[in-house]
Amino acid sequence: MDALFDSICSPGGACDVLGVWLAALLTILVLTYLIHDSFLFRLASSLLVGTAIGFASAVVVHRVLWDLVVAPLWADLPNWFSNTWALLIFLVFFCFPLWLRLAPNSRATTWSNLGLAYLFGIGAALAIGGALSGILAPQLVATMSVSVSPQANGWDWLNGILIVVGTLGAFLTFRFIQPGNRPWQRVYDVITRTWGTVGRGFIMVAFGALLAGLIFARVSALVGQLYFLIHDLPATLFK
């Protein structure tokens, strides 16, 4: 059986030909959206979403639940409460409640919110920590280390000024402090509000650059798929 599978799915075998035809068929189904939002496009989209969910579920079950929870508990079965009690608590209080989402009982659904709260808390902590350590802190360090001295090259000096003004203005865009009645407070409010308006323009430019990059990536993917249909499919068909 293994020899038959190796002969069929060897490089250049039937599996490669079938894969090319399947990829071409799915590409054509996706491109039908340019004509009309038909059943064929929804079929291709459903296959993509279903494949992604199936792959993610397999990874979670095999790499997380089995390798990190079930296998250590099973390997240390006589010493559950002495060595692997933390995994047992995680399994009972966070993994098992997620399965209760399938139960129609309202009490079971309420208990399952514990597992969801744990997942959302971990996700929020990772997102906030990643934003602080990966975006906010490096941006502040880069802004403070930018050279704006007059001895630098003229364009470098202007670039440093723009980075400082844009970064601080972007932060001041999200200022939610009510101004006081003192003169210096009103002056401070006018300056920060004006600077925040300038920062909002920098944010719009950044969003435009991100949108342009997204469109460029989509166009590149489209060109790649069209090249696949024009070049690879005929090469496989007339090989």
What is the DSSP annotation of 6-25? HHHSSTTSHHHHHHHHHHHH
Helix (H, G, I), strand (E, B) or coil at 151: coil
Q: Which of 67-76, 107-116, 224-233 has the lowest mean pLDDT?
A: 107-116
Return the domain boundaries, the chain.
Answer: 14-75, 83-145, 146-239
Mean pLDDT over the full length of the chain: 76
Which structure tokens are listed for 118? 């744990």
Q: Which of 30-39, 56-65, 143-152, 224-233 has the lowest mean pLDDT?
A: 143-152
Helix (H, G, I), strand (E, B) or coil at 229: helix
pLDDT above 70 coverage of the chain, percent: 75
Q: What is the pLDDT of residue 164?
A: 81
Helix (H, G, I), strand (E, B) or coil at 181: coil
Alpha helices in 91-182 (DSSP H): 96-99, 106-131, 137-145, 154-173
Q: pLDDT for 68-93, tens place per residue?
A: 777 777 776 666 666 666 666 777 77
Q: What is the pLDDT of residue 154?
A: 60
Q: How far is the C-alpha of 50 from the C-alpha of 56, rounded, in Å?
A: 10
Q: What is the pLDDT of residue 2?
A: 44
Q: pLDDT for 171-223, tens place per residue?
A: 888 877 777 777 777 888 888 888 888 889 899 998 999 999 999 998 888 88
